[in-house]
């Protein structure tokens, strides 16, 4: 995690696991929380040959949720809104039904950047608050 204003991070998953799309549609009656829901991404033990990978990207987009879903329908790619509560909502957009892009509308991006800080994640996972490591000087010594 970079700790920048955009909440930039790279999530690394062991090669022994794949991220696969969930099944079905979100159930609005399901309580909000971090419990894994059937319609959200799942981590499963990898098998060969792989269809899905364990790498994904979160991207901010100027598009509306409706515009993002229209692209998914046009391309026949799985597109589903998920709530990563208490953090932020996200649209799982499965590029070619193989690669996960978490797409954030402008409102979702505001919630994401408010939440994705080292301090917020440390609190979520019950860890002590991390301090940003001092960067070495690039000057001549």
- What would the pLDDT profile of 115-131 be if each residue is shown by its tens digit? 888 888 788 778 876 65
Whole-angstrom Cα distance, residue 86 to residue 89? 9
Taking a C-beta distance cutoff of 8 angstroms, is the pair 43, 19 a contact? yes
Whole-angstrom Cα distance, residue 14 to residue 107? 32
Q: Which residues of the chain, if any, have pLDDT below 70? A: 1-2, 10, 12, 14-15, 49-50, 129-141
Instruction: Check residue 15 and give its pLDDT.
Output: 65
Instruction: Check residue 134 and give its pLDDT.
Output: 40
Instruction: Check residue 82 and give its pLDDT.
Output: 95
Domain range annotation of the chain: 56-126
Instruction: Note if the pTM is more than 0.85.
Output: no
Instruction: Check residue 83 and give its pLDDT.
Output: 92
Q: Which residues contact 75 (CB under 8 A, 6 or more apart)?
A: 96
């Amino acid at each position: 995690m970079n700790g920048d204003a955009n909440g930039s991070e790279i999530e690394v998953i062991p090669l022994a696991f794949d991220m696969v799309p969930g099944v079905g549609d979100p159930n609005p009656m399901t309580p909000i929380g971090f419990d894994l829901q059937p319609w959200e991404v799942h981590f499963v033990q990898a098998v060969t040959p792989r269809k899905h990978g364990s790498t994904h990207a979160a991207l901010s987009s100027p598009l509306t949720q409706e515009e993002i879903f229209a692209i998914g329908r046009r391309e026949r790619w799985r597109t589903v809104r998920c709530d990563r509560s208490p953090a932020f909502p996200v649209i799982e957009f499965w590029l070619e039904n193989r690669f996960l892009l978490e797409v954030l509308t402008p409102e979702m991006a505001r919630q994401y950047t408010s939440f994705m800080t080292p301090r917020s994640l440390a609190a979520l996972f019950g860890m002590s608050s991390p301090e940003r490591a001092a960067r070495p000087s690039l000057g001549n010594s």
